[in-house]
Amino acid sequence: MVAIGSNPERNRAHNRRVVLEVIRLHGHLGRTEIARHAKITAQAVTNIVEELLAEGMLIELGRLRSGRGQPPIQFAVNPDGPLTAGVEIAADHMVCVLLDLSGRVRAQSISRLEDTGPAVVPKLVADEVARLQTELSVTPPPKLLGIGVVMPGPFEIEGMSSVGPATLPGWTGHDPRKLFAQATGHDVVVENDATAAVVGERLYGAGRQLTNFCYLYFGVGLGLGVIHDGRPLRGAFGNAGEIGHIGLVPRNGAGKAGPAGALERFVSVFALRERLAMAGIYAKTVEDIERLHEAQNPTLLDWIETAADYLAPTVALLENIFDPETIIFGGGLPDAVLEAVISAINPLPVTVATRDKRVLPRVLGGQTGQLTAALGAAALPLLDTVSPHLSLSDPAN
C-alpha cells in the first residue's frame, strides 16, 4: 500500500518520502504518474524530484515512448546512490549489511562476538561498517545516510535479564544510540531486534503485501514484531512484543508457567542449543542445526515437538489479540526447521482466525532468513526517508 501525499508546505518532508516510495515501488515513473500515485500536485512533484536528483537519490532514465506527444522523462531510484547500514547485535554474533535505496544488499557479514558489552561493541560496529564500505566497487563509496542498530530487549529493565538468555548484560544506564553514534560518526537509530525484524520482513520478505501481521522472531531468545495498519507497533518504551518473557502452559499441559517457565526457555535458538548440549551435541551455527535436521537427529526432532506444544497456544493468543492476516515465523533457525515447527503446531486451536475462506495460512515461514533483523535495521534510517507508511515517528502520519 502506497502512502498518500499531502500538499501543505509543512508536510514537505512527508511528501518527499511519498515520492521516493512511489518510485521505488514502481521501478521508474514520469512526473505525471508520480503525481497521480502520490496524490500531490504536479508542481510539488517537480520540485521534489529536482531536489532528489541533486542529492543523488534519483537518476533520470530518459524518455519512455508511448502514444502521441512528447514522451515523459522517467525517474528511478539511484542504484549507486546513498546507502544505509544495518547491524544486529545478538548474544553471540553480529550481522552487518549495507543496503541501497532500492533495498538491494550491497555488502554483508556475519561474525562471532565474544564480548557484547558497551565498552567493546560500538567500536566493532564502526570497524565492520567501514570494512564493508571498502569492499564496494564504487570509488569513492556512496554516502551513508545512517546506521540502524538492533539489540535484543527488553530495554532498561535490568531485573528481567534473569528471565531469558537473550538480554545483553551491562547496557543498563548507557545510551546505545549515543555510544554507536560517537564510535561511527554517523546518525544512528536503535531498535529492539524483533521490531526491526518485522520491518525487514514487511519491506523485503513474506509481509510485502500485508498491512496487519505478527512476526515471531527466533533469535537467541524469542521476540514478537507486530505490523498494525502498515506500521510497526513499538509500545511506550520500545518494548512491545517481549513475548519470550511471558509464561504459557503448553497444549499438552506438561510445562511450567510463570518466570521459571518463560516461553523462550523452551522456544528459542538458545533453548534448542541447550537441549542439544545436554545430549552432548554442540551446534554453534545455523549450518550446524541444518545438518542435524538433515540427519534427522532425534534430540532436534524432540525439541521441534516441544516447541510446537508451546507455540500452538502462542499462535492462538496472538490471533485473538491482534486479529492478524497471518503469523510469520522467521529468524535464526534454518528454513527446514521452521517449516518442521510450523507443520508440528497443527492442529491449531480454534480462534478468531479460524475461517474457511482464508486467503493465507494461519502461519507462514519467513523469506529473509538470518539477515531479517539486520535488513530491518538498515531500513530504520530509511523509514524517515523513503517509507512514510512504515515511519516510526512521523507526526504527519
pLDDT at 160: 39
| Helices of type H across the chain | 12-26, 31-38, 42-54, 121-135, 176-184, 193-204, 269-278, 286-294, 298-322, 335-344, 372-383
Cβ-count burial 211-235 (b if 16+ within 10 Å, e if not): eebbbbbbbbbbbbbbbeebbbbbe
pLDDT at 384: 56
- Domains in the chain and their CATH numbers? 9-77 (1.10.10.10), 83-197+374-390 (3.30.420.40), 208-370 (3.30.420.40)
Q: What is the spatial distance between Cα 151 and Cα 356, in angstroms, rounded to a whole number?
A: 39
Q: What is the spatial distance between Cα 208 and Cα 199, in angstroms, rounded to a whole number?
A: 10
Q: Quick one: cell of 183?
A: 564510535
pLDDT at 278: 95
pLDDT at 65: 63
Cβ–Cβ under 8 Å, residues 331 and 219: yes
pLDDT at 164: 40
What's the average pLDDT block by block, 10 residues per block, for the chain (397 residues)? 51 80 83 88 90 88 67 85 90 89 87 90 95 84 89 55 53 87 92 85 85 91 89 81 82 57 87 94 91 97 95 95 96 93 94 91 90 86 58 42
* Nearest Cα residue to 166 out of 82, 78, 242: 242
pLDDT at 396: 36
pLDDT at 162: 32
Looking at this protein, which amino acid is placed at residue 3? A
pLDDT at 124: 96
The secondary structure of 16-31, three-state, reads HHHHHHHHHHHCCECH
